Amino acid sequence: MNKYLNFSLEGKVALVTGGSYGIGFAIASAYAEAGATVCFNDINQELVDKGLAAYAEKGIKAHGYVCDVTNEEAVTAMVAQIEKEVGVIDILVNNAGIIKRIPMHEMTADQFRQVIDVDLNAPFIMAKAVIPAMMKKGAGKIINICSMMSELGRETVSAYAAAKGGLKMLTRNICSEYGQYNIQCNGLGPGYIETPQTAPLREIQPDGSRHPFDQFICAKTPANRWLQPEELTGPAVFLASEASNGVNGHILYVDGGILAYIGKQPG
């Protein structure tokens, strides 16, 4: 196969953080279908067990680990365990994240710090843990799940936007610092995706109408709909494969066109 068209992940070991459900599960499943051995973590055993069952239902033999990605000691131990049990991590997807929708003037500093810790500090900790083995191997892929909030602001998401903006720049700096070792670090920026996390924003109201935020997002999206997690999988496989070896420090937005669109004129 032409190496510039090689989307295969055969023989690769992929670690997707927070991969029990939602976007992480969709990406990890696609990696398995592309030939990778899939590892994932989550914050507790219950979520890991649910993830293992979901992968098994799809015929995927995944390796699940309980790990708090904000705990550097725990992350180091998990990465060492994966290297021992499965192999050196070729692909890291920093997917685990949280959001707190609280007006900034009502948000406590501790709440702000928690979002920064999970959404920005944890990707730093995870990348730091896998980079040495990637440097030694002379190859690696790190994919950070960024967001349109890496580019835009909106009410009630000050901590999330600050974290994702920082993650965008962390992505570019990993590229700058480790590109010489054939390590590519890119971001994947989802738009508004149908996941359990966003389900409350799509609930039909008691009067039978659509949720106001649901109406707002569809009106702001040229595709006029929420995206499915599976629509992220093609770009995610591309960024994890040899086909993207020349792409580094880039944020690939999969948003249905929101960032390109100023919106409809009222009237």
Active site residues: 160
**Cα–Cα distance for residue pair 207/228, rounded to 1 Å:** 26
Cβ contacts of 215 within 8 Å, gap of 6 or more: none
| Ramachandran region, residue 57 (left: φ > 0; alpha: ψ -120 to 50; beta: rest) | alpha
Tell me the sheet residues that pair with 66. 42
**b (16+ CB within 10 A) / e for 11-48:** ebbbbbbbbbbbbbbbbbbbbbebebbbbbbbbeeebb
For residue 183, CA distances in Å to 149, 170, 172 come to: 25, 14, 12
φ/ψ of 97, rounded to 5, equals -170, 165
Q: Kindly state the DSSP code that residue 121 receives in the 8-state scheme.
A: I
For residue 11, CA distances in Å to 27, 91, 182, 202 come to: 17, 11, 18, 39
**Cα–Cα distance for residue pair 113/2, rounded to 1 Å:** 46
